[in-house]
Structure 1
Amino acid sequence: MTNHSNFLLSSSSISNDGVVNATGDELGQIEDLMIDPVTGRVDYAVLSFGGFLGIGDKYFAVPFDQLAVDRENKRMVLDVDRERLKQAPGFDKDDWPDFADERFRTTVADFYRA
């Protein structure tokens, strides 16, 4: 895995990347990135998890700083157990939350800090 500060990635190179946990269990894939237009910082990666062929997927906002890059395998690594991820605050792919809402941001931050 690689430190974020050693290189830059394009958003298109991250979109659809697979996500695994530290033990190599597949967790899903990156669907989108949420970028703060004022700071230019990527705040969240939107991760799809579960379902089959896009049906029944649950989406999660993962704080971007929780992800590490596995350049060798061209994927992202999230140090969260697969069963724990099922308990993460998520949303339906057709009903996205307001990512700027402070309650949403606090709920997500608290989950990934625990």
Structure 2
Amino acid sequence: MNYEERDPYGIYRSSDKTVGQFTANSHQGPGPRLMGANTLIGNDVYNVAGEELGDIKEIMLDVTSGRISYAVLSFGGFLKLGERLFAVPWSALKLDTVNKRFTLNIDKSRLEDAPGFNKDQWPDMANANWAEGIHAYYGNKVHGDILMG
């Protein structure tokens, strides 16, 4: 599923406008530069090789700084059996507006070995040591509350 399909408020709406004899697709609304969190949950995530990695199950906000910290990605399993969750630093994801999905620069096998968790045992994502390890795994550095890619 993609963010345009989950857009009940017209954030990503576009309209066709005829100018002279040409029809141009004109964007209205704040997206995709500013996006609604509800429309991002359920979005597909692929790697740069075009392999499907999973989809976004949740978005974790740092309420103190007002920043998005992580996207919780589901990966693996069959029909939700054996599915694992992974906290991926938000800065590691890139929006692909052409394919209307997110990309994560990681091999599928590396994601399989990533630190993950199940829905009944969430890690303490506010723990600085945990955060440092997750950011390092995905190639990011944590400097105070500023993430460096």
Provide TM-score, normalisation by structure 2. 0.70
In 2, distance between residues paired with 1:88 and 1:80?
Answer: 10
- Map of 2:74 onto structure 1: 48
In 2, distance between residues paired with 1:57 and 1:104?
Answer: 21
Show structure 2 runs of 5+ residues with no match: 1-31, 141-149
**Equivalent of 1:89, from 115, 118, 134?**
115
* Max Rg structure: 2
Q: Quick check: 1:112 aligned with 2:138?
A: yes
**Equivalent of 2:128, from 102, 108, 114?**
102
Structural RMSD (CA): 1.3
**Equivalent of 1:75, from 86, 92, 101?**
101
Q: Residue 38 of structure 1: CA displacement? A: 1.2
Provide TM-score, normalisation by structure 1. 0.90
Amino acid at match of 1:45: A
- Map of 2:37 onto structure 1: 11
* Dislocated runs of 4+, deviation >2 Å: none
Q: Quick check: 1:22 aligned with 2:48?
A: yes
Report if aligned partners of 1:18, 1:30 keep a CA contact under 8 Å in 2.
Answer: yes
Higher relative contact order (CA 8 A, sep 6+): 1
Q: Residue 104 of structure 1: CA displacement? A: 1.1
Secondary structure, in 3 states, of the residue corresponding to 2:132? helix
Q: Quick check: 1:32 aligned with 2:70?
A: no
Q: Residue 72 of structure 1: CA displacement? A: 2.2
Higher helix content, 1 or 2? 1
Show structure 1 runs of 5+ residues with no match: 1-5
In 2, distance between residues paired with 1:109 and 1:58?
Answer: 18
Q: How many residues align?
A: 109
Higher strand content, 1 or 2? 2
Report if aligned partners of 1:45, 1:62 keep a CA contact under 8 Å in 2.
Answer: yes
In 1, distance between residues paired with 2:135 and 2:108?
Answer: 18
Amino acid at match of 2:41: S
